Structure 1
Amino acid sequence: MTRARLSGGTLRSLPKQVAVPAYDRDDVAPGIVHLGVGAFHRAHQAAYVDDCLAAGEAGWGIVGVSLRSADTRDALAPQDGLYTLAIRDSGGERLRVIGSIQSMLVAPEDPGAVLAALTDPRTRIVTLTITEKAYLRAAGGSLDQAHPDIVHDLANPGSPRTAHGFLTEALARRRAAGTQPFTVLCCDNLPANGATLHRLLIEFAMLREAGLANHVANEVAFPSSMVDRIVPATTDADRARIGEELGVEDAWPVMTEPFCQWVVEDDFPAGRPDWEKFGVTMVADVGPFEDMKLRLLNGAHSGIAYLGLLSGHATVDRAFADPAIRQFVDALWAEAISTLPEDAGLDTSAYTAELTQRFSNTALAHRTAQIANDGSQKLPQRIVASALECLEAGTELVHLTLVVAAWIAACAARGKALPEGHFTDPLDAPLTALLSQQLPANETVTAVFDLAGFAKDHAERQTLIELVAIHLVHLRRDGPTLAFAALGIDGERPSIAAD
């Protein structure tokens, strides 16, 4: 028998143990537009906003915008924007229905509707989780002015394709109408993410008009933030299990862990929800928290992903249970911790102890292939920045550089020991062509650094290349087995050769 669908009409029929929105959704007005409504946003920011709505802050409903695919809209529209958040750990699962997303727009279908939402005077905050690659940075970090979508948006400001185009055109229209600018809150894993997006948007606006660029530079707030919650991809088995528990069908539930963290710079001229009442940390400078998360959580995640793939481990918990990878992560953390400020009040011991528990969560089944995506965009801030700081300080580093070598080896293994297309990268076409040449390790690493812009113009670039190349030689000869042995790490494990 076909089940009814999760919706406003079926909400009150759910089992009592399922948490549901504790407010009248008809009383909620839109106050936030979110660009990039993926699983992470729905497990993180949307849950915090749901708490605020339940506390009576009815002016902060979310208008969700997909910049590319209609999949999320098509799943959530028949459900009145409702979806289940499944909070899982090794001890069990709690279900919570989130109601903070009021409506969903698909930018390629109707860019005008997106611009209308962005220019609505009720919109006071625009949040983003569009992934690193969608910021369209050139190798040196500046705006990629030659990117076809940037070129399109400059020629067609009324029908943009990119976040840059939508934000800039909306701010231009608000300025012309005398409407206060919204605050732009970046929630992606970029270094100094608010400042980075601010700089990119100024560059984009300058290509349109100097006065507009000046407006973006001086009148629009771009607080930085740090977000942290592990959100694995939802599987068909997850959908079936959630449907059984709810008694209704949910086309796109979201899986996550109990841990959730959000650190935000408190700069919201147009107002904001009282997030701090629900666990958000409002600070003057998010930088130290951001660096700790990028280098300890995200950096370790990348290492676990690429070494896990090369060792035959499909999920993080299985890879982290491998004694060799576990030892490697401890040593990686030690190198990365040496680059963090000692006077910022960071408790790295408590943080890594918490990460140890999170990575060991057997209920999440966080796939290593999911984390492996977009390495060319993620590694600069997760790994390369720490490695360069170690070189500058003269401190030892051998584990950070293995992560970069493992990324290269895992890319080369696709279509061979790993399935073709097992994970993806914006540089896949030139990477595949380069790696198919099977050049000597040093030449390969140099060419990859050139292609991805790693350590561009840095005085320690050549040293970094040589250290990565040593690891790549080991990975090519005998996969992680030899690479770990060279680091003095013991442990039996399955091994998949990179070439």
Structure 2
Amino acid sequence: MTLPRLSAATWEARVARGLPEHVRGPAVDPAALTVGQVHLGVGAFHRAHQAVCTEDAAAATGETRWGVLGVTQRSPRVVEQLAPQDGLYGVLTTGPDPSLRVVGSLRDVAFPGRDTPRVLDALAAPTTHVVTLTVTEKGYHRGADGGLRTTAPDVVADLAGAAVELQHDDGTASRTAVGLLVRGLVRRHRTSGAPLTVVPCDNLAGNGAVLRRLVEQALAAVPRTDEVAAWVASSVRFPSTTVDRIVPATAPEHRAAAAALLGLEDEGLVVGEPFFQWVVEDDFAGPRPAWELAGATFTHDAAPFERAKLRVLNATHSALAYHGALRGYATIAQAVADPDLEAMARALVDEDVLPTLTAPDGLSLDAYRDDVLQRFADPGTGHTTVQVATDGSQKLPQRLLGTAADRLAAGAVPHAVARAVAGWVAYVRATAAGDLVVDGRRVPLDDPLARRLAEAAAGPDPVDRLLALREVFPEPVATSTAFRDAVRAALRELTLTPAAR
């Protein structure tokens, strides 16, 4: 039987018939919301995380000004999913007793390929007070030095658009998230000049400072933007954040479970674990949603939380993904259930990560490690090893190589990090050669540097060649003979593991 599709009208009819025990609707009336927040990168993570928190914050205060304009980046797919549903979508929370909530804070969706003028108007509007981003590490277009790749063709095109915006509206399509933001800032300065807060929510250490630097570099590359740059320095804030919730890809079994609960077809369904964390640096230029009333933590220093999350959770996630995929495991839960891989993940934290961390206030790092591994073991999340293993060249510097650099600086050889990196080397080599099969499917090498990685991995000494890539490995790590030897030794052991052949 074909179910009717979720929309404002079908949801109203569903509510009139009575909702099951484990289904609830928007915490606020979606029709009453006006847009006060623009989100760049409206993928599954935002819809299961910040959008839910924003809705609950609005409900807690009774404010109606915190509707969200969600902006996709790479394709119009999310627009096609959500526009026919009037922005409504479900969040299926996994666990032994699944539940579903329909979220209504997303009041509009846009694709820059055809909607750039509308997005720029929203970024410039004085009624927009907050811009959030989840565009993944590679979405920031950073070079080997961490700065903006101002010579990349897509960035060049957006900087040309920013130059036009100095004089009048530019209707050309934006190609990058940072470029779109910069163009919006130029238009905002030219029109309202109202203060703005830009809140990055991606896995980059010091993500607020990183994004501020990219914006400054972009403006420096555009002639006659001195006044805009001065306004950004005085009126735009970039607080750092840490975000955490496992949001796996929505699978057919998730859709079936949601349809059974909701009685409607939901093309925009997302899935999340029960756990939620959002740590936000308290540095805002103007009004903001009362996120602290919806579970967020505000702090004057987000750095200890960022480092703990990146080096404990994200690092072990990546290590389990590479080693798990090499052993044929389809999910992270299957990988961490392997005693050898669970021991590897625990050793990574205990031997190398914890000595580099200062515990944030109120957080036990030992307990955090145990909680992370327990969360990974939940089969309900369905996070796949291949999904987590993508874009390794962008993830390793944040998740593993900072720890390696700190340990080397302290005079220690980070053998546990070397084992994790060896897993990445073997994964790159196997996927580049087309030799890795997981869950019956051949796994391709999915990485922005895929061609260069494949060339390096095909050589007689893949460790030397891969560690020579400065876009990935910082000099203190790449030039350490002890670390290279440790990676080589770990790779030899991995190669001799029958399950990894």
Tell me if TM exceeds 0.5. Answer: yes
Q: 1:342 to 1:85 in 2, by over 3 A?
A: closer
Counterparts of 2:230 and 2:473, CA distance in 1: 31
1:454 aligned partner, one-letter code: V
In 1, the alpha carbon distance for the partners of 2:109 and 2:47 equals: 12
Partner deviation per Cα, 1:474-497 (whole Å, 9 max, x = no partner): 33x32xx3xxxxxxxxxxxx6132
Q: Percent identity?
A: 42
Shift in Å at residue 423 of structure 1?
5.1
Counterparts of 1:103-252 in structure 2 under 5 Å?
Answer: 103-157=108-162, 158=170, 159=172, 160-208=174-222, 209-252=225-268
3-state SS in 1 of match to 2:308:
helix
On the 8 A contact 1:317/1:360 being kept in 2, the answer is yes
Kindly indicate whether the alpha-carbon contact (under 8 Å) linking 1:305 and 1:368 is maintained by their aligned counterparts in 2: yes
- Report the residue type matching 1:63 in the other structure: L
Shift, 1:104, TM fit: 0.2
Aligned to 2:39: 34
The structure 1 residue matched to 2:426, chosen from 409, 417, 429, is 409
Are 1:283 and 2:287 counterparts?
no
Cα deviation for residue 470 of structure 1 reads 2.3
Q: How far apart are the structure 2 equivalents of 1:347 and 1:368?
A: 27
Displacement of 1:219 = 2.8
State how far apart, in whole Å, the 2-side matches of 1:452 and 1:305 are: 23
Contact 1:21 1:54 in 2 (8 A): no
Q: Which sits farther off after the overlay, 353-362 or 295-304?
A: 353-362
Matches within 5 A, 1:325-474: 325-334=341-350, 335-341=352-358, 346-414=363-431, 415-418=434-437, 419-422=441-444, 424-436=446-458, 438-440=459-461, 444-458=462-476, 461-463=479-481, 464-474=483-493
Distance 2:383 2:371 in 1: 17
Contact 1:226 1:263 in 2 (8 A): yes
Give the counterpart of 2:86 among 80, 83, 95. 80
SS in structure 2 at match of 1:451: coil
Is the counterpart of residue 294 in structure 1 residue 310 in structure 2? Answer: yes
Stretches of structure 1 that go unaligned for 5 or more consecutive residues are 482-493
Show the counterpart of 2:30: 25
**How much has 1:196 moved relative to structure 2?**
0.4
1:25 Cα deviation (Å)? Answer: 1.6
8 Å Cα contact 2:404/2:477 also seen in 1 = no
Following superposition, the deviation at residue 420 of structure 1 comes to 4.7
Consecutive unaligned residues of structure 2, counting only runs of 5 or more, are 163-169
Shift of 1:396: 4.7
- Give the Å deviation of 1:459: 7.2
2:283 to 267, 273, 278: 267
Q: Secondary structure at the match of 1:404?
A: helix
Question: 1: distance between equivalents of 2:418 and 2:63?
Answer: 47
Q: Distance in 2 between matches of 1:388 and 1:459?
A: 6
Deviation string 1:441-496 (CA, Å, 9 cap, x unpaired) is xxx22322333533433377323333222222333x32xx3xxxxxxxxxxxx613
Q: Distance in 1 between matches of 2:305 and 2:55?
A: 24
Instruction: Give the secondary-structure state (helix, strand or coil) at the position aligned to 1:108.
Output: helix
State the Cα RMSD in Å: 1.7
**Higher mean Cα deviation, 135-144 or 392-401?**
392-401
Q: Distance in 2 between matches of 1:343 and 1:358?
A: 20
Between 37-46 and 171-180, the greater mean CA deviation after superposition: 171-180
**Secondary structure in 2 matching 1:126:** strand
CA distance in 1, matches of 2:480, 2:414: 15
Matches of 2:376 and 2:208, distance apart in 1: 28
> Equivalents in 2 of 1:300, 1:365: separation in Å?
16
User: 2:71 corresponds to which residue?
Assistant: 65
The SS at the match of 1:362 is coil
Deviation of 1:147 after TM superposition, in Å, equals 1.0
- In 2, the alpha carbon distance for the partners of 1:299 and 1:21 equals 35
- 1:49 maps to 54
Report the Cα distance in structure 2 between the residues aligned to 1:94 and 1:439, rounded to whole angstroms: 52
Paired letter, 2:393 = S
Contact 1:85 1:253 in 2 (8 A): yes
Distance in 1 of aligned mates of 2:67 and 2:202 = 21
Deviations 1:364-399 (A, max 9, x none): 111010000111001101000001101111235211
1:143 Cα offset (Å): 1.2
Pick closer, same or farther for the CA change 1:133–1:495 going to 2, 3 Å: same
SS in 2 for 1:34: strand
**Count of residues paired in the alignment:** 477
AA aligned opposite 1:107? P
Point out the more displaced range, 408-417 or 34-43: 408-417
In structure 2, C-alpha distance between the alignment counterparts of 1:237 and 1:426, rounded to whole Å: 30
Q: Report the 3-state secondary structure (helix = DSSP H, G, I; strand = E; otherwise coil) of the residue aligned with 2:367.
A: helix
Q: Give the distance between the partners of 2:360 and 2:177, measured in 1 at CA.
A: 36
Q: Distance in 2 between matches of 1:218 and 1:460?
A: 39
TM-score between both structures, scaled by the size of structure 1: 0.92
Equivalent-residue separation in structure 1 for 2:366 and 2:319 (angstroms): 19
Distance verdict in 2 for CA 1:192–1:323, change over 3 Å: same
Higher deviation after alignment, 415-424 or 155-164: 415-424
Work out the CA distance in 2 between the residues paired with 1:343 and 1:59.
Answer: 33
Specify the SS of the correspondent of 1:495: helix
Residue type of the alignment partner of 2:98? E
**What letter matches 2:10 in structure 1?**
T
